[in-house]
Amino acid sequence: MHKRAVIYTRISKDMEAMGLGVARQLADCRDYAKEKGYEVVEELADNNISASGLKTRPEYLKLRDLMADRGVDVVLVYAMDRLHRNMRELAEYIELSNDTGTAIESVVAGKVDLASADGRMVATIIGALGAAEREKTSERQLRKARANAEEGRWPGQRVYGYTNDASIVPHEAEVIKEIAERVLGGEGLNAIANSLNSRGIPTLRGAAWRATTIVGIARSARIAGNREHHGVITKRGAWEAIVDEETSILLRKRLAKGRAEGRPVGGPRKHLLSGLLVCGKCGGPLQRGFAGTARTPVYRCGKNEGSRSCGRISINLKATEDFVASALFAAFDRAIEQQQEDAGEAERARYVAESKRLEERKAQLTKLFVADEIDEDALTTGLKAIREQLEALPQPRPKSTRQRQTGAELAAAWPEMETSVKRALLDQVFVKITVTPRNIVTGAKVFDETRLVPEWRS
Protein backbone atom coordinates (compact mmCIF):
# COMPACT_ATOMS: atom_id res chain seq x y z
CA MET A 1 0.00 0.00 0.00
CA HIS A 2 1.35 3.37 -1.00
CA LYS A 3 2.00 5.92 1.73
CA ARG A 4 -0.23 8.98 1.59
CA ALA A 5 1.77 12.18 1.23
CA VAL A 6 0.93 15.86 1.50
CA ILE A 7 3.21 18.35 -0.21
CA TYR A 8 3.58 21.66 1.60
CA THR A 9 5.26 24.65 -0.08
CA ARG A 10 5.80 28.23 1.01
CA ILE A 11 7.38 31.18 -0.77
CA SER A 12 9.59 33.84 0.84
CA LYS A 13 11.87 36.55 -0.49
CA ASP A 14 15.05 34.59 0.22
CA MET A 15 13.77 31.52 -1.66
CA GLU A 16 12.51 33.72 -4.47
CA ALA A 17 15.98 35.22 -4.88
CA MET A 18 17.34 31.68 -5.35
CA GLY A 19 14.72 30.92 -7.98
CA LEU A 20 12.90 28.58 -5.63
CA GLY A 21 9.35 29.84 -5.95
CA VAL A 22 6.33 27.71 -5.12
CA ALA A 23 6.22 26.15 -8.60
CA ARG A 24 9.86 25.02 -8.38
CA GLN A 25 9.42 23.66 -4.85
CA LEU A 26 6.27 21.82 -5.91
CA ALA A 27 7.95 20.23 -8.94
CA ASP A 28 10.88 18.98 -6.85
CA CYS A 29 8.54 17.59 -4.17
CA ARG A 30 6.47 15.80 -6.82
CA ASP A 31 9.60 14.22 -8.28
CA TYR A 32 10.67 13.14 -4.78
CA ALA A 33 7.24 11.58 -4.09
CA LYS A 34 7.29 9.72 -7.42
CA GLU A 35 10.77 8.39 -6.71
CA LYS A 36 9.66 7.13 -3.27
CA GLY A 37 6.39 5.70 -4.57
CA TYR A 38 4.19 7.95 -2.41
CA GLU A 39 0.58 8.80 -3.27
CA VAL A 40 0.18 12.59 -3.14
CA VAL A 41 -3.28 13.21 -1.65
CA GLU A 42 -3.00 16.97 -1.17
CA GLU A 43 -0.83 19.90 -2.30
CA LEU A 44 -0.84 22.91 0.02
CA ALA A 45 0.88 26.26 -0.58
CA ASP A 46 1.12 29.45 1.48
CA ASN A 47 2.16 32.26 -0.84
CA ASN A 48 4.06 35.31 0.46
CA ILE A 49 3.52 34.34 4.10
CA SER A 50 6.39 34.10 6.56
CA ALA A 51 6.89 31.01 8.72
CA SER A 52 7.83 33.23 11.65
CA GLY A 53 4.47 32.65 13.32
CA LEU A 54 3.63 36.36 13.12
CA LYS A 55 0.96 35.76 10.48
CA THR A 56 -1.65 33.06 10.10
CA ARG A 57 -0.82 30.45 7.46
CA PRO A 58 -4.16 28.96 6.37
CA GLU A 59 -2.67 26.05 4.40
CA TYR A 60 -0.32 25.14 7.24
CA LEU A 61 -3.32 25.00 9.58
CA LYS A 62 -5.05 22.73 7.06
CA LEU A 63 -1.94 20.50 7.11
CA ARG A 64 -2.15 20.22 10.90
CA ASP A 65 -5.83 19.28 10.62
CA LEU A 66 -5.00 16.52 8.12
CA MET A 67 -2.35 15.17 10.48
CA ALA A 68 -4.73 15.29 13.44
CA ASP A 69 -7.38 13.42 11.41
CA ARG A 70 -4.72 10.88 10.38
CA GLY A 71 -5.39 11.60 6.74
CA VAL A 72 -1.70 11.62 5.83
CA ASP A 73 1.34 9.42 6.45
CA VAL A 74 4.15 11.67 5.18
CA VAL A 75 4.60 15.45 4.93
CA LEU A 76 6.88 16.47 2.06
CA VAL A 77 8.64 19.84 1.98
CA TYR A 78 11.47 21.23 -0.10
CA ALA A 79 13.42 22.18 3.02
CA MET A 80 12.64 21.98 6.73
CA ASP A 81 12.56 25.76 7.13
CA ARG A 82 9.57 25.88 4.74
CA LEU A 83 7.57 24.52 7.67
CA HIS A 84 8.99 26.44 10.63
CA ARG A 85 11.25 29.28 11.62
CA ASN A 86 9.69 29.49 15.05
CA MET A 87 10.85 27.22 17.87
CA ARG A 88 7.52 27.18 19.72
CA GLU A 89 5.67 26.15 16.56
CA LEU A 90 8.31 23.48 15.82
CA ALA A 91 7.87 21.97 19.29
CA GLU A 92 4.10 21.79 18.77
CA TYR A 93 4.62 20.17 15.36
CA ILE A 94 7.00 17.53 16.76
CA GLU A 95 4.40 16.62 19.41
CA LEU A 96 1.63 16.36 16.80
CA SER A 97 3.87 14.29 14.52
CA ASN A 98 4.65 11.81 17.31
CA ASP A 99 1.01 11.62 18.42
CA THR A 100 -0.24 10.85 14.89
CA GLY A 101 2.74 8.91 13.57
CA THR A 102 3.15 11.31 10.65
CA ALA A 103 6.62 11.33 9.10
CA ILE A 104 8.35 14.34 7.57
CA GLU A 105 10.74 14.30 4.64
CA SER A 106 12.45 17.06 2.70
CA VAL A 107 13.95 17.18 -0.77
CA VAL A 108 17.10 18.76 0.68
CA ALA A 109 17.65 16.65 3.81
CA GLY A 110 15.63 13.48 3.23
CA LYS A 111 13.77 11.80 6.09
CA VAL A 112 13.87 13.35 9.57
CA ASP A 113 12.77 10.89 12.26
CA LEU A 114 10.95 13.01 14.82
CA ALA A 115 10.27 9.92 16.95
CA SER A 116 13.97 9.57 17.80
CA ALA A 117 16.12 11.80 19.97
CA ASP A 118 18.65 12.27 17.16
CA GLY A 119 15.91 13.19 14.69
CA ARG A 120 14.39 15.70 17.06
CA MET A 121 17.84 17.15 17.67
CA VAL A 122 18.38 17.58 13.92
CA ALA A 123 14.95 19.21 13.52
CA THR A 124 15.62 21.51 16.48
CA ILE A 125 19.01 22.55 15.08
CA ILE A 126 17.48 23.23 11.66
CA GLY A 127 14.67 25.18 13.33
CA ALA A 128 17.12 27.20 15.43
CA LEU A 129 19.18 28.03 12.36
CA GLY A 130 16.01 29.10 10.55
CA ALA A 131 14.94 31.29 13.48
CA ALA A 132 18.38 32.88 13.62
CA GLU A 133 18.31 33.54 9.88
CA ARG A 134 14.85 35.10 10.18
CA GLU A 135 16.08 37.43 12.92
CA LYS A 136 19.15 38.36 10.87
CA THR A 137 16.95 39.02 7.84
CA SER A 138 14.72 41.26 9.97
CA GLU A 139 17.75 43.14 11.27
CA ARG A 140 19.06 43.64 7.73
CA GLN A 141 15.69 44.95 6.59
CA LEU A 142 15.49 47.37 9.54
CA ARG A 143 19.03 48.61 8.89
CA LYS A 144 18.26 49.06 5.21
CA ALA A 145 15.04 50.96 5.97
CA ARG A 146 16.89 53.23 8.41
CA ALA A 147 19.73 53.83 5.94
CA ASN A 148 17.26 54.61 3.15
CA ALA A 149 15.48 57.08 5.42
CA GLU A 150 18.70 58.83 6.46
CA GLU A 151 19.79 59.12 2.84
CA GLY A 152 16.40 60.57 1.93
CA ARG A 153 15.41 57.82 -0.50
CA TRP A 154 11.80 57.57 -1.61
CA PRO A 155 10.09 54.55 0.06
CA GLY A 156 9.11 53.29 -3.39
CA GLN A 157 5.35 52.94 -3.14
CA ARG A 158 2.73 55.02 -4.91
CA VAL A 159 1.02 57.48 -2.57
CA TYR A 160 -1.55 60.19 -3.13
CA GLY A 161 0.18 63.11 -4.84
CA TYR A 162 3.22 61.15 -5.99
CA THR A 163 4.10 58.30 -8.35
CA ASN A 164 6.18 55.37 -7.12
CA ASP A 165 9.36 57.22 -8.17
CA ALA A 166 8.49 60.46 -6.30
CA SER A 167 7.22 62.40 -9.32
CA ILE A 168 4.33 64.74 -8.52
CA VAL A 169 0.87 63.86 -9.86
CA PRO A 170 -0.39 67.37 -10.77
CA HIS A 171 -4.15 66.96 -10.29
CA GLU A 172 -3.64 65.16 -6.96
CA ALA A 173 -1.19 67.82 -5.82
CA GLU A 174 -3.88 70.46 -6.36
CA VAL A 175 -6.25 68.49 -4.14
CA ILE A 176 -3.58 68.28 -1.42
CA LYS A 177 -3.06 72.05 -1.58
CA GLU A 178 -6.81 72.56 -1.27
CA ILE A 179 -6.97 70.20 1.72
CA ALA A 180 -4.09 72.04 3.41
CA GLU A 181 -5.72 75.43 2.94
CA ARG A 182 -9.08 74.25 4.23
CA VAL A 183 -7.65 72.42 7.25
CA LEU A 184 -5.56 75.42 8.26
CA GLY A 185 -8.57 77.63 7.69
CA GLY A 186 -10.30 75.70 10.46
CA GLU A 187 -12.76 73.76 8.30
CA GLY A 188 -13.98 70.43 9.67
CA LEU A 189 -12.47 67.26 8.24
CA ASN A 190 -15.82 65.64 7.48
CA ALA A 191 -16.91 68.77 5.63
CA ILE A 192 -13.78 68.62 3.47
CA ALA A 193 -14.28 64.91 2.80
CA ASN A 194 -17.93 65.43 1.85
CA SER A 195 -16.96 68.24 -0.50
CA LEU A 196 -14.37 66.10 -2.31
CA ASN A 197 -16.81 63.19 -2.58
CA SER A 198 -19.60 65.39 -3.94
CA ARG A 199 -17.27 66.60 -6.70
CA GLY A 200 -16.41 63.04 -7.70
CA ILE A 201 -12.73 63.31 -6.78
CA PRO A 202 -11.38 59.80 -6.09
CA THR A 203 -8.84 58.76 -3.46
CA LEU A 204 -5.76 56.79 -4.49
CA ARG A 205 -7.68 53.50 -4.29
CA GLY A 206 -10.88 54.92 -5.71
CA ALA A 207 -12.71 54.81 -2.38
CA ALA A 208 -14.69 57.59 -0.72
CA TRP A 209 -12.84 60.30 1.15
CA ARG A 210 -12.95 60.08 4.95
CA ALA A 211 -11.57 62.25 7.72
CA THR A 212 -8.87 59.64 8.41
CA THR A 213 -7.78 59.72 4.75
CA ILE A 214 -7.35 63.48 4.91
CA VAL A 215 -5.40 63.28 8.17
CA GLY A 216 -3.07 60.63 6.75
CA ILE A 217 -2.19 62.80 3.77
CA ALA A 218 -2.08 66.20 5.48
CA ARG A 219 -0.04 65.03 8.46
CA SER A 220 2.59 63.30 6.33
CA ALA A 221 5.99 64.99 6.08
CA ARG A 222 6.40 63.76 2.51
CA ILE A 223 4.05 66.40 1.03
CA ALA A 224 6.67 69.00 2.02
CA GLY A 225 9.41 66.96 0.34
CA ASN A 226 10.72 65.52 3.61
CA ARG A 227 11.70 61.93 4.44
CA GLU A 228 10.34 60.67 7.75
CA HIS A 229 11.21 57.53 9.70
CA HIS A 230 9.30 56.53 12.86
CA GLY A 231 8.14 60.11 13.43
CA VAL A 232 11.57 61.70 12.89
CA ILE A 233 12.32 63.79 9.79
CA THR A 234 15.62 62.35 8.59
CA LYS A 235 16.13 64.47 5.48
CA ARG A 236 14.55 67.68 4.23
CA GLY A 237 14.13 68.50 0.56
CA ALA A 238 14.48 64.86 -0.45
CA TRP A 239 12.06 65.31 -3.38
CA GLU A 240 9.86 68.00 -4.86
CA ALA A 241 7.42 69.44 -2.34
CA ILE A 242 3.69 69.96 -2.86
CA VAL A 243 3.28 72.34 0.10
CA ASP A 244 5.90 74.52 1.77
CA GLU A 245 7.63 73.73 5.06
CA GLU A 246 5.57 76.18 7.09
CA THR A 247 2.30 74.74 5.85
CA SER A 248 3.44 71.19 6.65
CA ILE A 249 4.48 72.10 10.20
CA LEU A 250 1.18 73.86 10.88
CA LEU A 251 -0.77 70.89 9.49
CA ARG A 252 1.12 68.44 11.69
CA LYS A 253 0.42 70.59 14.75
CA ARG A 254 -3.25 70.99 13.95
CA LEU A 255 -3.72 67.28 13.31
CA ALA A 256 -1.33 65.98 15.97
CA LYS A 257 -2.30 62.73 17.74
CA GLY A 258 -5.53 62.38 15.78
CA ARG A 259 -7.07 65.56 17.12
CA ALA A 260 -7.90 68.93 15.63
CA GLU A 261 -8.24 71.87 18.01
CA GLY A 262 -8.99 69.48 20.86
CA ARG A 263 -11.86 67.81 18.98
CA PRO A 264 -11.77 64.24 17.65
CA VAL A 265 -10.68 64.06 14.04
CA GLY A 266 -13.60 64.13 11.65
CA GLY A 267 -16.10 65.28 14.25
CA PRO A 268 -18.21 67.85 12.41
CA ARG A 269 -19.28 70.97 14.30
CA LYS A 270 -23.04 70.86 14.70
CA HIS A 271 -23.69 74.14 16.49
CA LEU A 272 -22.10 77.38 15.38
CA LEU A 273 -21.34 79.05 18.71
CA SER A 274 -20.76 76.11 21.10
CA GLY A 275 -17.61 76.86 23.07
CA LEU A 276 -17.24 80.38 21.65
CA LEU A 277 -19.96 81.64 23.98
CA VAL A 278 -18.98 81.61 27.67
CA CYS A 279 -21.04 82.09 30.81
CA GLY A 280 -20.90 85.55 32.38
CA LYS A 281 -21.32 84.04 35.86
CA CYS A 282 -18.92 81.07 35.99
CA GLY A 283 -16.87 81.39 32.80
CA GLY A 284 -17.91 77.93 31.56
CA PRO A 285 -18.70 77.22 27.88
CA LEU A 286 -22.26 77.48 26.62
CA GLN A 287 -23.68 74.56 24.67
CA ARG A 288 -26.88 74.02 22.71
CA GLY A 289 -29.95 73.12 24.72
CA PHE A 290 -33.71 73.70 24.94
CA ALA A 291 -35.83 75.94 27.15
CA GLY A 292 -39.42 75.75 28.37
CA THR A 293 -42.28 73.52 27.37
CA ALA A 294 -41.95 74.80 23.78
CA ARG A 295 -38.38 73.47 23.78
CA THR A 296 -37.00 76.65 22.25
CA PRO A 297 -33.38 76.16 21.08
CA VAL A 298 -30.95 78.07 23.27
CA TYR A 299 -27.30 78.23 24.20
CA ARG A 300 -27.02 77.47 27.89
CA CYS A 301 -24.44 76.95 30.60
CA GLY A 302 -24.75 73.25 31.39
CA LYS A 303 -24.89 72.15 35.01
CA ASN A 304 -22.86 68.94 35.03
CA GLU A 305 -21.67 67.04 38.08
CA GLY A 306 -17.96 67.58 38.65
CA SER A 307 -17.75 70.64 36.34
CA ARG A 308 -17.39 74.29 37.24
CA SER A 309 -20.46 75.26 35.16
CA CYS A 310 -23.22 76.96 37.11
CA GLY A 311 -26.15 76.22 34.76
CA ARG A 312 -27.67 79.66 35.34
CA ILE A 313 -27.19 81.42 31.98
CA SER A 314 -29.05 80.85 28.70
CA ILE A 315 -29.82 82.87 25.57
CA ASN A 316 -31.93 82.36 22.46
CA LEU A 317 -29.96 80.37 19.87
CA LYS A 318 -31.22 81.82 16.58
CA ALA A 319 -31.21 85.45 17.67
CA THR A 320 -27.69 85.08 19.09
CA GLU A 321 -26.33 83.43 15.95
CA ASP A 322 -27.89 86.14 13.77
CA PHE A 323 -26.42 88.92 15.92
CA VAL A 324 -22.93 87.39 16.03
CA ALA A 325 -22.98 86.86 12.25
CA SER A 326 -23.89 90.53 11.78
CA ALA A 327 -20.99 91.53 14.02
CA LEU A 328 -18.69 89.37 11.89
CA PHE A 329 -19.89 90.99 8.66
CA ALA A 330 -19.22 94.43 10.13
CA ALA A 331 -15.73 93.34 11.19
CA PHE A 332 -14.89 92.52 7.59
CA ASP A 333 -15.32 96.15 6.68
CA ARG A 334 -13.00 97.44 9.38
CA ALA A 335 -9.29 98.09 9.20
CA ILE A 336 -8.80 95.63 12.08
CA GLU A 337 -8.94 92.81 9.51
CA GLN A 338 -5.42 93.36 8.23
CA GLN A 339 -4.08 93.83 11.76
CA GLN A 340 -5.55 90.48 12.78
CA GLU A 341 -3.98 88.74 9.80
CA ASP A 342 -0.59 90.30 10.57
CA ALA A 343 -0.82 89.03 14.15
CA GLY A 344 -1.75 85.57 12.92
CA GLU A 345 1.23 85.49 10.58
CA ALA A 346 3.53 86.40 13.48
CA GLU A 347 2.06 83.61 15.63
CA ARG A 348 2.55 81.07 12.86
CA ALA A 349 6.11 82.22 12.17
CA ARG A 350 7.05 81.80 15.85
CA TYR A 351 5.48 78.36 15.96
CA VAL A 352 7.21 77.20 12.78
CA ALA A 353 10.63 78.38 13.98
CA GLU A 354 10.30 76.61 17.34
CA SER A 355 8.94 73.44 15.70
CA LYS A 356 11.90 73.32 13.32
CA ARG A 357 14.30 73.68 16.23
CA LEU A 358 12.71 70.79 18.13
CA GLU A 359 12.48 68.58 15.02
CA GLU A 360 16.20 69.12 14.42
CA ARG A 361 16.89 67.99 17.99
CA LYS A 362 14.91 64.81 17.32
CA ALA A 363 16.99 64.12 14.22
CA GLN A 364 20.24 64.75 16.12
CA LEU A 365 19.22 62.34 18.89
CA THR A 366 18.44 59.65 16.34
CA LYS A 367 21.84 60.10 14.66
CA LEU A 368 23.58 59.76 18.05
CA PHE A 369 21.70 56.52 18.67
CA VAL A 370 22.59 55.13 15.22
CA ALA A 371 26.25 56.00 15.90
CA ASP A 372 26.05 54.13 19.26
CA GLU A 373 26.87 57.31 21.18
CA ILE A 374 23.70 57.03 23.28
CA ASP A 375 21.67 53.97 24.32
CA GLU A 376 18.03 53.22 23.62
CA ASP A 377 16.86 54.52 27.02
CA ALA A 378 18.51 57.89 26.38
CA LEU A 379 16.94 58.04 22.92
CA THR A 380 13.47 57.19 24.23
CA THR A 381 13.72 59.69 27.09
CA GLY A 382 15.00 62.44 24.79
CA LEU A 383 12.35 61.89 22.13
CA LYS A 384 9.60 61.84 24.77
CA ALA A 385 10.78 65.17 26.19
CA ILE A 386 10.87 66.77 22.74
CA ARG A 387 7.45 65.39 21.88
CA GLU A 388 6.02 66.91 25.05
CA GLN A 389 7.57 70.28 24.19
CA LEU A 390 6.06 70.13 20.71
CA GLU A 391 2.63 69.30 22.11
CA ALA A 392 2.90 72.15 24.61
CA LEU A 393 3.47 74.77 21.91
CA PRO A 394 0.39 77.03 21.67
CA GLN A 395 -1.89 76.39 18.70
CA PRO A 396 -1.42 79.23 16.20
CA ARG A 397 -4.64 80.79 14.98
CA PRO A 398 -6.02 79.45 11.68
CA LYS A 399 -4.79 80.93 8.43
CA SER A 400 -7.23 83.42 7.04
CA THR A 401 -9.16 82.08 4.08
CA ARG A 402 -10.65 85.49 3.30
CA GLN A 403 -10.00 87.11 -0.02
CA ARG A 404 -10.79 90.63 1.15
CA GLN A 405 -14.54 90.00 1.07
CA THR A 406 -16.76 92.86 2.09
CA GLY A 407 -19.34 92.35 4.79
CA ALA A 408 -22.09 92.35 2.17
CA GLU A 409 -20.34 89.68 0.10
CA LEU A 410 -19.85 87.49 3.15
CA ALA A 411 -23.49 87.97 4.24
CA ALA A 412 -24.67 86.84 0.79
CA ALA A 413 -22.52 83.69 0.91
CA TRP A 414 -23.25 82.90 4.59
CA PRO A 415 -26.44 80.78 4.23
CA GLU A 416 -24.73 78.25 1.92
CA MET A 417 -21.55 77.84 3.99
CA GLU A 418 -20.76 74.73 6.04
CA THR A 419 -21.02 75.30 9.79
CA SER A 420 -17.32 74.51 10.20
CA VAL A 421 -16.37 77.18 7.63
CA LYS A 422 -18.53 79.75 9.38
CA ARG A 423 -16.95 78.90 12.71
CA ALA A 424 -13.44 79.17 11.26
CA LEU A 425 -14.25 82.72 10.17
CA LEU A 426 -15.65 83.57 13.61
CA ASP A 427 -12.52 82.17 15.29
CA GLN A 428 -10.41 84.55 13.21
CA VAL A 429 -12.27 87.53 14.66
CA PHE A 430 -13.42 86.56 18.18
CA VAL A 431 -11.49 85.13 21.11
CA LYS A 432 -14.73 84.53 22.98
CA ILE A 433 -18.14 86.12 23.54
CA THR A 434 -19.34 86.42 27.12
CA VAL A 435 -23.07 86.10 27.78
CA THR A 436 -24.05 88.19 30.81
CA PRO A 437 -27.13 87.61 33.04
CA ARG A 438 -30.54 88.65 31.77
CA ASN A 439 -31.69 92.19 32.48
CA ILE A 440 -34.66 92.05 34.85
CA VAL A 441 -36.37 94.97 33.06
CA THR A 442 -36.37 93.44 29.58
CA GLY A 443 -37.15 89.92 30.84
CA ALA A 444 -36.91 86.64 28.98
CA LYS A 445 -39.19 87.45 26.05
CA VAL A 446 -37.03 90.17 24.50
CA PHE A 447 -33.62 89.46 22.93
CA ASP A 448 -31.08 91.82 24.49
CA GLU A 449 -27.97 92.10 22.34
CA THR A 450 -26.18 94.06 25.08
CA ARG A 451 -25.82 90.77 26.99
CA LEU A 452 -23.22 89.70 24.42
CA VAL A 453 -19.75 91.03 25.23
CA PRO A 454 -17.21 90.05 22.53
CA GLU A 455 -13.47 89.81 23.06
CA TRP A 456 -11.90 90.67 19.73
CA ARG A 457 -8.66 89.18 18.46
CA SER A 458 -5.93 91.80 18.52
What does the DSSP assignment read for 297-343?
A: EEEEE---TTSS-----EEEHHHHHHHHHHHHHHHTTSTHHHHHHHH
Q: Does residue 272 lie within any of the structural domains?
A: no
Beta strand pairing status for 296-301 and 286-291?
antiparallel
> Does 145 have pLDDT greater than 70?
no
- The pTM assigned to this predicted structure is 0.46
- Whether residues 117 and 190 fall in one domain: no
* CATH at 96: 3.40.50.1390
Q: Does residue 83 lie within any of the structural domains?
A: yes
* CATH at 210: 3.90.1750.20
- Whether residues 443 and 322 fall in one domain: yes
- Whether residues 296 and 257 fall in one domain: no
Answer with the one of 147, 181, 204 that is the final residue of a domain.
Answer: 147
Q: What is the pLDDT of residue 258?
A: 46
- Whether residues 326 and 450 fall in one domain: yes
- Write the pLDDT tens digit of every residue in 244-300: 888 888 888 788 764 444 344 444 567 899 889 999 988 888 989 888 888 899 999
Task: For residue 174, report the phi and psi dihedrals to the nearest 5 degrees.
Answer: -65, -40
- Whether residues 26 and 126 fall in one domain: yes
> Does 47 have pLDDT greater than 90?
no
Q: Does residue 375 lie within any of the structural domains?
A: no
- Amino acid identity at 104: I
- Whether residues 217 and 328 fall in one domain: no
Q: What is the pLDDT of residue 17?
A: 44
- Write the pLDDT tens digit of every residue in 57-87: 788 889 999 999 888 999 998 887 777 766 6
Answer with the one of 264, 294, 312 that is the final residue of a domain.
Answer: 264
- Whether residues 128 and 180 fall in one domain: no
Q: What is the pLDDT of residue 91?
A: 77
Q: Does residue 55 lie within any of the structural domains?
A: yes
Q: What is the pLDDT of residue 7?
A: 93
Domain of residue 74 covers: 4-147
Q: Does residue 104 lie within any of the structural domains?
A: yes
Q: Does residue 360 lie within any of the structural domains?
A: no
> Does 53 have pLDDT greater than 60?
no
Q: What is the mean pLDDT of the chain?
A: 78
Q: What is the pLDDT of residue 168?
A: 93
- Write the pLDDT tens digit of every residue in 169-189: 999 999 999 999 888 877 778
Q: Does residue 397 lie within any of the structural domains?
A: no
**Region label for 123, one of left (φ > 0), alpha (ψ between -120 and 50) or beta (otherwise):** alpha
Q: Does residue 347 lie within any of the structural domains?
A: no
Least confident piece of the model among 139-143, 316-320, 321-325, 382-386: 139-143
- Whether residues 103 and 197 fall in one domain: no
Residues 75-91 as b/e (b if ≥16 CB within 10 A, e otherwise) read bbbbbbbbbbbbeebbe
- Write the pLDDT tens digit of every residue in 401-440: 444 567 788 888 888 888 888 888 888 788 899 999 987 6
Q: What is the spatial distance between Cα 192 and Cα 265, in angstroms, rounded to a whole number? A: 12
Q: What is the pLDDT of residue 451?
A: 92
- Whether residues 288 and 230 fall in one domain: no
- Whether residues 259 and 132 fall in one domain: no
The residue among 125 and 195 whose pLDDT is bigger is 195
- Whether residues 239 and 286 fall in one domain: no
Exposed, middle or buried, 429 (CB in 10 Å: 0-12/13-18/19+)? Answer: buried
- Write the pLDDT tens digit of every residue in 88-128: 777 788 888 888 888 888 888 777 665 556 555 555 655 55
Q: Where are the alpha helices (DSSP H) in 332-375?
A: 336-370
Q: Where are the beta strands (DSSP E) in 37-163?
A: 39-46, 74-77, 103-106, 110-112
Cβ neighbors of 452 (< 8 A, separation 6 or more) are 315, 320, 323, 324, 433, 434, 435, 436
- Whether residues 260 and 281 fall in one domain: no
Answer with the one of 223, 241, 264 that is the final residue of a domain.
Answer: 264
Q: Pick the most confident of 265-269, 286-290, 361-365, 375-379.
A: 286-290
**Structural domains of the chain, count:** 3
